Amino acid sequence: MPKISAPLILLAVVILAAAGYGALTYPKTVADINVQFSIGAESKTVEFDLPPLHDEYNVEVSVTSGNALWNARLTQGNATVWSHAASQGVQTAYQSGWLSAKPGHYKFTFSTIGFGSLVGEVKVSTRGGFW
């Protein structure tokens, strides 16, 4: 039976460790909200924990129809970590870009402000490591 050399074993361990780290830190959608708000102020809230080894988040809002002011807010405990507000008529797509996050439990709230209606989709994604 052929002997496996130490450098070959070390190389295999390094490759497996890198692949495992990559798999654990790969971007993950932690909140996916389909919103369909009628006339009046409404909101939807989703809670999530930041996955292990993840240290960034991204918020994407895509409004397909309606005419309302909307607000998106990410909180950790009683502190607002991030928020954005816009008018659907002015901004039908929004992406926050990747922002730093601390480990912990988060609450994401998407709401309309005022009396317009709104239909759209909101996604919150997280990532870590070299992604």
Domain that holds residue 111: 6-127
94 within some domain: yes
Domains in the chain: how many in total?
A: 1
On whether the CB atoms of residues 69 and 112 are closer than 8 A, the answer is: yes
pLDDT tens digits along 33-76: 998 888 778 889 999 988 888 889 999 999 888 878 888 999 99
Task: Specify the pLDDT at position 90.
Answer: 61
pLDDT tens digits along 4-22: 788 888 888 888 888 888 7
CATH number at residue 121: 2.60.120.380
64 within some domain: yes
DSSP 45-82: EEEEEPPTT--EEEEEEEEEEE--EEEEEEEETTEEEE
32 within some domain: yes
pLDDT tens digits along 71-130: 899 999 999 999 998 876 666 788 999 999 888 999 999 988 777 788 889 999 998 876
